[in-house]
Amino acid sequence: MRSHPFSTLLLTIALGIVAGCRDATGPGPVAVPATVPSEAHTEPPLPMDPHSHARPNEVRVFHAELDLTLDFEKRVIAGRATLHLRRIDPKASLWLDTLDLTIAKVTGEDGSARRHELGKRDELLGQPLRVDLKDGDDRVVIHYATSPEARALQWLTKEQTAGGKQPFLYTQGQAILTRSWVPLQDSPGVRMTYAARVRAPQGLRVVMSAGERGTDGAVFTFAMRDRIPPYLIALACGDLAFAPISARCGVFADPSVLAGAKQELGDMETMVQKCEQYFGAYRWGRYDVLIMPPAFPFGGMENPTLTFATPTILVGDKSQVALIAHELAHSWSGNLVTNATWRDFWLNEGFTVFLEQRIMELVFGKERAAMEIATGDAGLRKEIAELPAKDQVLHIDLTGRNPDDAMTAIAYDKGAAFLRRLEAVFGRDAMDRFLSAYFSAHAFQSITTETFLKFLDQHLLQSDPARKKKVDVHAWVFEPGLPKSMPELHPRGFAEVEAFRTAWLATGKMPADAKPGTWITHQWLHFLAGLQSDPDVLRRVDQRFGLASSPNGEIRSAFLTRALELHLFDFVSHTMDFVSQVGRRKLVLPLVKALMSHKDKSGEPHAREILVRFGPRFHFITRRSIEQLVDR
C-alpha cells in the first residue's frame, strides 16, 4: 500500500471515450479449479496472530470459491463462500473471522446443515464464527450477506465517479477488513487460492485481483491460482473500460479518463522489465492498473495482477509514476513474500520503498532517486520526533491495537533506510544477489521478522563479520530512533531550491538562473518545509506561485497545512474545496491535524466542518482517522 508519495488533484477533464477498447479484456472464460493444490499439504505451522480469531494450525482454509451478487440498491453483497479445508487436527472445529456479516446458514458439500456459532463482537476484530465439522468434511459452504456499513466496502453514487454515469463499488481489505465481506481466516499468514463468480447490475463491469478473468453469460468469473493472503482478495465494479499497454499490462478506468490514464502509464511494461532484471521473474502473469474514483483513501493498493491507484496520479506529465513503481514492487515484496503478522509489516513496506527507490533510479536517474530518498528521510525524522519510542521500532508490538497503527514512516522509510545501509556496507552486487535469493526462497510464503533475520544472517551477514558489525542489525530492527550511521543526503536539486529561497525572500526578485517552473514535487515540498513560520512570507509565496490552488495535490496539501498551522483561516475555503475532491488520507489528514493544533481551539470548528460535510463521502479508513483527531 502507498499512503505516501505524491499526487495531484483529480483531473476532471473529460478525455473522450475510447469505445474500441471497452471490451478488450484479458484471457477468456475460466474453469474454477476443483482440485486441491498439492502444496496445501506441506505448509509449516503459523505464528500466533493477535488480529485474527482463526486457528489455522488446527483447520486451515487453502482455497475459497465465492459466488456473489452485488446489490447496489441495498448496498449489500450476498451469496456463498465454499471453503476448502486442510484438517490438521481432525477433531477441531473451524474458526473464521467475520465482521458485521449476516450468516444465513452453514452446510457441508451435500447441503446438510453444520452446527455453527457467532461469538462475541470485538469492535476491532469482529466476531469469530465457529463451525463444527463432521468426519470427512473437507469443504463447508457459508451462506451470508454483508452489512451496508461493511468496512471494506465503499459504495459510491454515480455523482462520486469521474464519469458520473454509473455507481461504483470497491473493496479495501488491508489490514483486517476482508472479514467484513468474506468469512475467512483473515490473517496474512493463511495463504489461499480463490475463484469467484460475480453478478452485477447490467452495464457494470466487475474486476478482481485474479490473473484469470472471464465471463459466463452475464456472470463475471475469476481465478487466482497463486496462493495469496486474504487481504489481497479485491473486487471493484463500475463503468470500467480497458486499454492495453503491452501484451501483459493494461489499464482499467472510467471511460472519461481512459485515454489520459493510458498515456500517463505508458512506461509500465518498461518498469516491469527493469524489476525482472534485478529482482527475478514477474510471477503473476498480468499486471494491470485500475484507476479508482477520488474517494479512494490510499495512493495505491497492490492487489495482485491489478493495482488499485488514486486518480491523483493522472497529471499529464508522468511526474507521479513513483506510485506505480511502489505498487509494482509489491509484486515481489508483500505479495510474493508477505508479512506473517502485522507486526512484520515493515517486511512488506520497507522492502517495497527500497525497491521503488531503485526502480526510480533505473528509470529516471540517480538525482531524482536522491531527492525521493531525502524527502522520505525528512518525513521519517519528523515522524520520529512525534512517535512514542515503542512505535519507533521496526518490529512493533501491536497486541490489542489496530494494525493501521503500524502504517507510519517507520515501516516504510526506516525499513528502506535499513536496507540501504545493508547495501552501502556490503555493496550493490552482494545486495542484489541477496534480494534475488530472498524472493525466490520465500516465494508465495508469509514470513516473520525472525525468519527474515535468520536468512539475512546466513546469506549476507555471515559472509563478512567485520561488515556485519558495522551494520548493527539489532539497533535497526529492535531499537527506537535512527542509528547514527544513517547518512543525511543533500541532493543538488535541493541546494538549488535553498539558494533560490534565500535570494527571493531577501530581495523579492527571482535569481536569473532559477527555474522553479521545472521543479519536481519533491523540490516544492523542500521549498515549503524550509520557509520560516511567518504569515506574510506564506502569503507572498501564494501570491507569486498560487500553491493554494495548485493542481498537484501533494503540493497543495503541504501549502494549505502550513497556512492553517499559522492561523491563516482565509485559506479555509481553499481547504474545503480541496477535500471536497480528494479522499486520500495522506493528503486530507495533515489539514485536519493543523486545524486541531491550536491551543486556543480556533481551528476546531473548521475541522468539525470537514468531518460533517465530507465525512460521509470518505472511505471508512480516512473517516476513522479524522474522527480520531477531532473527537479526542
CA–CA separation, 416 and 318 (whole Å): 24
Amino acid at 213: R
Residues 6+ apart with CB under 8 A from 292: 170, 236, 308, 309, 310, 311
In sequence order, the β-bridge partners of residue 107 are 113, 141
SS3 426: helix
**Annotated catalytic residue within 65, 302, 327, 349:** 327
Least Å distance between CB 103 and Zn ion? Answer: 33
Q: How far is the CB of 352 from Zn ion (least distance, A)?
A: 5
Smallest gap from residue 625 Cβ to Zn ion (A):
17
Q: Minimum Å distance from CB 360 to Zn ion?
A: 14
Q: Which is nearer to Zn ion, 352 or 446 (CB)?
A: 352
Contacts for 510 with CB less than 8 Å, ≥ 6 apart: 500, 504, 516
Among residues 2 and 358, whose Cβ is nearest to Zn ion? 2
- Whichever of 2 and 414 has its CB closer to Zn ion, that residue is 2
365 sits in the region (left: phi over 0; alpha: psi -120 to 50; else beta) called: left
* 282 annotated active-site: no
- Residue nearer to Zn ion on the CB measure, 212 or 349: 349
Partner residues linked to 291 by β-bridges: 309
Q: In whole angstroms, what is the distance from residue 68 CA to residue 476 CA?
A: 45
Beta bridge partners of 97: 128, 184
Q: How far is the CB of 187 from Zn ion (least distance, A)?
A: 19
CB of 298 to Zn ion, least distance (A): 9
Find out whether the peptide bond into 175 is cis, omega within 30 degrees of 0: yes
- Alpha-carbon gap, residue 494 to 200, rounded angstroms: 50
Distance CA 392, CA 519 (A): 32
- What is the number of other CB atoms lying within 10 angstroms of the CB of residue 305? 26
Q: What is the torsional sign of CA 82, 85, 91, 92?
A: negative
Distance of CA 442 to CAs 222, 302, 570, Å?
26, 18, 54
SS3 content of the chain, % helix, strand, coil (to 5): 40, 20, 40
Residue 71 or 554 having the CB closest to Zn ion: 554
Q: Which is nearer to Zn ion, 2 or 421 (CB)?
A: 2
The length of the chain in residues reads 632
Smallest gap from residue 3 Cβ to Zn ion (A): 8
Q: How far is the CB of 170 from Zn ion (least distance, A)?
A: 17
190 or 325: whose CB is closer to Zn ion?
325
The nearest distance, CB 313 to Zn ion, in angstroms, is: 14
Element (H, E) at 6: none
Of residues 254 and 349, the one with the C-beta less far from Zn ion: 349
CA distance 618 to 589: 12
Measured from the CB atom, is 351 or 519 closer to Zn ion? 351
Residues 6+ apart with CB under 8 A from 436: 278, 279, 280
Of the two residues 298 and 614, which places its CB atom closer to Zn ion in the complex?
Answer: 298
Least gap, CB of 498 to Zn ion (angstroms) = 30
Q: Given 412, 438, 496, 554, which residue is catalytic?
A: 412
The one-letter code for the residue type at 48 is M
> Got the DSSP string for 564-613?
HHTT-GGGHHHHHHHHTT---HHHHHHHHHHHTT-TT-TTHHHHHHHHHH
Taking the least distance from each CB to Zn ion, the nearer of 332 and 500 is 332
Q: Is 186 helix (H, G, I), strand (E, B) or coil?
A: coil
> Which residues are CB-neighbours of 17 under 8 A, at least 6 positions away?
241, 255, 256, 258
Q: Do β-strands 287-291 and 249-253 pair in parallel, antiparallel, or remain unpaired?
A: parallel
Whether 149 sits among the annotated catalytic residues: the reply is no
Q: Is 304 helix (H, G, I), strand (E, B) or coil?
A: coil
Residue ranges binding Zn ion (CB under 5 A): 1-2, 349, 352
Kindly state the smallest distance separating residue 348's Cβ from Zn ion, in Å. 7
> H or E stretch including 250?
strand 249-253
CB atoms within 10 A of CB 458: 11
Q: Which residue number has the CB closest to Zn ion?
A: 1
Copy the grid coordinates of residue 15.
Answer: 478525455
Strand partners, 307: 289
d(CA 138, CA 127): 23
- Alpha carbons 306 and 252: distance in angstroms, whole number: 9
Q: Which residues are tagged catalytic?
A: 327, 412
